[in-house]
Chains A and B, each alone.
Chain A
């Protein structure tokens, strides 16, 4: 069953440097996401990944085409859609002078829900930081807290926009485990990433976007078989990241 159905989605912006002309940031894309899937959107910078997510999240107006989330048309039911999705944005800053517990309670209130901040903090492994301010957290902790905020309404779908950009390998793997746990509990997850290993490890299916168009969509294995079935060079060994992790251990550093 599809929980997200996107048909012919368009979004145009004025061209940078030449405001009179416009370009299609998202150029007529169509895809479906099934319940319980981890769906990855890949693509170089400026491919239209974030714009696509923002249209699904109701942050950005849909210019033409349609997007159904859990049967709701996003254009007409933005507020209802917002109630069943959780969103982690690329920028994750919060109101000053509030600690993690206070922020989570505030986010709960935004969904008219009384939440147990300890349960959420425990889920993202930040229970010992409940009285810390977000700016006192490390990059990985910040991302995990940002996911905790996205979970306050126990969403059906979780949107993650480049969740591991800028994280060290330990924090990255830790976040992957968190995503896997949430998915195992039944949550549908849509994520964008530049990290190919992340896409391969986490995603059930991957869509690759370029210049606003969705150029290919399949399972990671399917894509590899189709486009890279002949290894350029047989991997005789692991990569430098494996070296790094062997030497520094898998234990989280923050």
Chain B
């Protein structure tokens, strides 16, 4: 497997001319000597992960108020189960006190156990008082309460449950927020590094007349682009490996799919964003213009691409747009591989999306990256 990989790499290197490889090495050298930019491109993802390291990667328990108006065993049982659930942080108290806390935001919801909480008489209606702004967690709360009630019911029936659900997590472990976040974070990182590598650099090289100087030598635009792509790929792969390595060792992240697929997706994503960056760089005539252009490209994607929140939690109207953005395609692709163990080589909507963006960005860059205009 690895010898095959090495063979692939050595064949890959032979594909490039010595000029392209030399230029790529020069660009790498320039980057490696720029300590500040290395530090800061790693700063954000590492700080982010550091925060998770201290919180253990688990979300904070949901604060629940519990008003127990009943005194029978059923309510006692229920209270015990709910209190023991790590999802919740239970505070027992009077309804009026807890409501005040709910109003202040100290409680997310209040469960009220009615006086006549009884299974046999079927008067076991629980009331759930909610803070509407926290409605995102309603599903989790409801599900946990239902499970608790179900297990009490079974106990009271004094019987084995008729049907049992044995929960077998196909991911073999609970899905934590950090597991969701990391692939998105990697995608965001590679987007930023790529756009900076192509878009910003092109504009800077043009402004200073460096492109013009290159253009009076016999170098072909293709050689220039290929070498920047190669150098950036190396930079992105190293930086992604640093973050990924730390995540695996310190945060106990497990990559379910193969690293081959994961890195393959990183490479494709980097190429896509480099191409799009070249386009931004050749559109923007000045250093002042490139910043807002890149912001206009990055920020909507940062918000819409499901890097920090699942796209499914967005307004329905925006979801199709959000799904189609290049960052969300790459983030979803990385997540599918890291969390669900899919392969890069399996054709599904995500890999199809990656393919489409790859072709699209190639077409755009070959159409819009005009050497003469870029150089002059």
Contact = CB atoms under 8 A, between A and B. Distances in A.
B235 to A, nearest CB: 14
Contacts of A107: 217
A109 B19 contact: yes
Contacts of A149: 213
B216 A87 contact: yes
Contacts of A91: 208-209, 212-213
B29 A97 contact: yes
Given A95-B26, A110-B217, A89 B212 contact: yes
A32 interface: no
B218 A79 contact: yes
B372 interface: yes
A112 B22 CA distance: 10
B29 A82 contact: no
Nearest to B372: A61
Given A59-B215, A87-B216, A97-B30, A109 B209 contact: no
A82 B210 contact: no
A96 B29 CA distance: 10
Given A59-B376, A106-B23, A109-B23, A89 B213 contact: yes
A112 B19 contact: yes
Given A97-B30, A102-B26, A59 B375 contact: yes
A111 B30 contact: no
B30 A96 contact: yes
A110 B219 contact: yes
Contacts of B205: 95
B216 A95 contact: no
Contacts of A89: 209, 212-213, 216
A102 B33 CA distance: 13
B145 to A, nearest CB: 61
Interface residues of B, number: 25
A52 B291 CA distance: 34
A60 interface: yes
Interface in B1-49: 18-19, 22-23, 26, 29-30, 33-34
Interface string B211-241: 0111111111000000000000000000000
Interface in A65-118: 79-80, 82-83, 85, 87, 89-98, 102, 106-107, 109-112
Contacts of A111: 217-218
Nearest to A112: B19
B217 A60 contact: no
B195 to A, nearest CB: 19
A112 B20 CA distance: 11
A28 interface: no
25 contacts: A59-B372, A59-B376, A60-B372, A61-B372, A83-B218, A85-B216, A87-B213, A87-B216, A89-B209, A89-B213, A93-B213, A94-B213, A95-B26, A95-B205, A95-B210, A97-B30, A102-B29, A106-B23, A106-B26, A107-B217, A109-B19, A110-B218, A110-B219, A111-B218, A112-B19
Interface of A: 57-61, 79-80, 82-83, 85, 87, 89-98, 102, 106-107, 109-112, 149, 153
Interface of B: 18-19, 22-23, 26, 29-30, 33-34, 205, 208-210, 212-220, 372, 375-376
